[in-house]
Amino acid sequence: MTTTIEVPEYLAPAVVRLMTILRQKGADYGAVDDPWTNFRATSAFMRCPPWECADFNEVQKLSRVATLRGKNGEPDNEALVDTYLDKAAYALLAFAMYLEYLGIPTAISTDTSRSVPGQHSYNGENSARTDDLPTQLMNPSG
């Protein structure tokens, strides 16, 4: 299935590369009937939600950026641009899996009536978490 969306011109090069790498890697890692197969297997092994497995992969990419920054140079084996591309892909995959978990339809919607800024919660089978951002982050001018 292909969905067409409008992308601001300044984001188009990044979005095109991101979608290309997701399609390519998805063909290698995901099953035909379940694109999250690899994350679900890791999730069962690590005993955490599948999106947190993608978060873990993103943190590994951030760690690599920090390590490279300390070396003051470009890497010898994988370009920094590829690290940022992978990091973006893992973030998008985590978000998509989380939306699926919440039962939010995958169709594009502009309905934000159920959103409450600064309030995020996850109630899984074996855990419960509520994160409220401090007021000064939500309203920096006030």
Has residue 7 got a pLDDT over 70? yes
- Comparison of pLDDT for 116 and 66, the residue scoring more: 66
Task: Give dist(CA 129, CA 123) in Å, integer.
Answer: 6
Which residues in 51-86 are b (16+ Cβ under 10 Å) and which e?
Answer: bbbbbebbeebeebeeeeeeeeeeeeeeeeeebbbb
Neighbours of 110 (CB within 10 A): 4
Measured in degrees and rounded to the nearest 5, phi and psi for residue 47 equal 60, 50
* pLDDT tens per residue, range 93-125: 999 999 999 998 765 544 555 544 444 343 334
Q: With helix as H, strand as E and coil as C, how does 72-139 read? A: CCCCCCCCHHHHHHHHHHHHHHHHHHHHHHHCCCCCCCCCCCCCCCCEEEEECCCCEEEEECCHHHHC
Taking residues 60-80, report their average pLDDT.
Answer: 85
Cα 86–chain centre separation: 10
Distance between CA atoms of 105 and 49, rounded to whole angstroms?
A: 19
In the predicted structure, residue 56 carries a pLDDT above the cut 80:
yes
Please give the single-letter amino acid code of residue 129.
R
The structure's pTM equals 0.70
